[in-house]
Amino acid sequence: MEFIAKNRLIRRTKRTLLYLLNTLMGILMLFPFYWTIINALKPRENIITNPPIFYPKGFTTEHFARIFSIPSKLGEIHYLPMMKNSLFIGTAGTMGVCIVAALTGYALSVKEFPGRKAVFYLVLSAMLIPFQALLVPLFSEMNLLGLVDNHLSLILIYITFFQPLGMFIMKNSFDTIPKAMYESARIEGCGDYQIFQRIALPNVKMGLGTVAVFTSAAVWNEFLMALIFMTSQSKFTLPVGLAFSHQPPFDINWGLISAVSVLTFLPTIMLFIGLRKYFISGVTAGAISAE
């Protein structure tokens, strides 16, 4: 009797400690967000103070209003089009990666064709070098293709550099589908693409969800390429707008910076929460397992 009681006590203590630990770490994780959000809601004078003010004292929506307003003067940053651009590029880039990664991942998983390893490593190697290092050649190339100041250039680059991870995840997702399923479909006379569409794809929803979330965050947040490749203000994306608002030697309005920052992370978080069914607990059994 005593033994069981003690055991239960130990377990309960462990459980409580775990909750405490979780809560503490959760707070640490979320504190920077909280800090930014309250700063976005404070008037300027209350943001940079000593001691710091931990609640939105003097609650104001002026910074958010500024973002959603149409600037009166030329040269002022107009955030709404930037959001539209970010949304468009984010969606297109993510969809592009999902499609390409699924196609390639499937092919690599299912077929033993010559050059398979070569393709795998070729695509994967794009992860080894960041595109900042290739800025100038990429820009010249885009110019040759006539794509400067065109969103398509960004989308293509994002797909190229974000597809390796996507392909890897998708390939492993497809690897978990038992070969038997393919066999039976083939016996019924299905072609490659039909097998892909009808049998393989439905079974890797989780993998796709993962790729979608990872990619959309990366694309939405990318700033340097978007800045350099887009030459007219109407094509800028949101992170670019953020860069403008914090650089010296001009008016560093922390309220505005915080508000724009909130806008940069809110949509991705919402997407993440929306897609969590595909993503949480059960990022599929085989989604990530190396070759």
Partner 1 sequence: MYLFVTPSVILSISFFVIPFLHNLIISFCNWNIITNNGKFLGLENYIRIFTDKIFLSSILTTTQYTIFVVPFLLFFGLLFALIVNDSNLRGNSLFQMIYFIPWVIPWLTAGLIWRFLYNDLYGPLNYLLIHFRFIEKPILFLSTKMTAMASVILVCIWKTAGYNMVILLAGLKSIPEQVYEAAAIDGASGWKRFISITIPLIRSSIALMVIMAVVGSYLAFDHFWIVTRGAPSHETETILTWLYQTSFFRFRLGEGAAMSVVLLAITGIFAVIQVRAFNLLKLK
Partner 2 sequence: MKSRVGTLLMVILVFISASATLWANGNSENETAEEPIVLKVWNRNGTLMGGAVEAFNAKMEAEGRDLRAEFTLVPYEEQSSKFLSSLAAKTAPDVYAIDLILAPYFSEMGAWMDITTEVNNLGFQDDLNPGMFRIGEWNGKQYCLPWANDNSSLIYNKTIFTEMGLEPPTTWEETLQVAKIITEQSDKYGITFSGANSGMTMFTWLPFAWMNGAQLITDNGKDTTIDSEAGVGALQFWAELAQYAPEGAPVYDYGDYYNGFVTGQVAMIFGGSWHVMSISNDAPELDFGIIPFPVPEKGNDTSAFMGGDIMGITAQTAHPKEAMEFVAFCLSEETQIEILAKNGSVPVRLSVAVDNPYFDKDPRYKVFAAGGQFGRAPKALNYNDITTVMGTIMPKALSGEVSPEDALKEAAPQIRDLLQ
Window 47 to 86, contacts with partner 2 (CB under 8 A): 48-50, 73-77
Interface segment toward partner 1; rule CB under 8 A; list 58-66, 73-81, 87-95, 105-113: 105-113
Interface segment toward partner 1; rule CB under 8 A; list 60-68, 73-81, 87-95, 164-172: 164-172
Separation between Cα atoms, residue 221 and residue 239, nearest integer Å: 6
Of 235 and 239, which has the nearer Cβ to partner 1? 239
The yes or no reply on residue 111 touching partner 1 (CB under 8 A) is yes
Separation between Cα atoms, residue 61 and residue 214, nearest integer Å: 31
Q: Are 256 and 41 in contact (CB under 8 A)?
A: no
- H or E, element range at 83: helix 79-110
Separation between Cα atoms, residue 207 and residue 216, nearest integer Å: 14
How many Cα atoms sit within 13 Å of 70 on the Cβ side? 0
Rounded to the nearest whole angstrom, what is the least distance from the CB of residue 199 to partner 2 in the complex? 11
Residues 6-45 touching partner 1, rule: CB under 8 A, are: 15, 18-19, 21-22, 25-26, 28-30, 32-33, 35-36
Of 183 and 192, which has the nearer Cβ to partner 1? 192
The yes or no reply on residue 137 touching partner 1 (CB under 8 A) is yes
Of 247 and 281, which has the nearer Cβ to partner 2? 247
Report CA-CA distances (Å) from 123 to 119, 212, 281.
Answer: 6, 18, 29
Residue 105's nearest CA partner among 221, 203, 183, 218 is: 203
Rounded to the nearest whole angstrom, what is the least distance from the CB of residue 25 to partner 1 in the complex? 7
Q: What is the DSSP letter of 198?
A: I
25 binds, among partner 2, partner 1, none (CB under 5 to 8 A by kind): partner 1
Residues 226-255 touching partner 1, rule: CB under 8 A, are: 239, 242-243, 246, 254
Separation between Cα atoms, residue 266 and residue 57, nearest integer Å: 22
> Within a 10 A sphere around the Cβ of 251, how many other Cβ atoms?
7
> Within a 10 A sphere around the Cβ of 186, how many other Cβ atoms?
14
Residues 194-253 touching partner 2, rule: CB under 8 A, are: 194, 197-198, 227-229, 231-235, 240, 243-244, 246-253
Separation between Cα atoms, residue 59 and residue 219, nearest integer Å: 32
Query: What number of chain residues touch partner 2 (CB under 8 A)?
Result: 47
The yes or no reply on residue 127 touching partner 1 (CB under 8 A) is yes
Separation between Cα atoms, residue 213 and residue 279, nearest integer Å: 8
Q: Which of 85, 94, 210, 215 binds partner 1 (CB under 8 A)?
A: 210
Of 73 and 179, which has the nearer Cβ to partner 2? 73
Binding residues for partner 2, rule: CB under 8 A, are 44-45, 48-50, 73-77, 92, 99, 135-136, 139-140, 142-143, 148-152, 155, 193-194, 197-198, 227-229, 231-235, 240, 243-244, 246-253
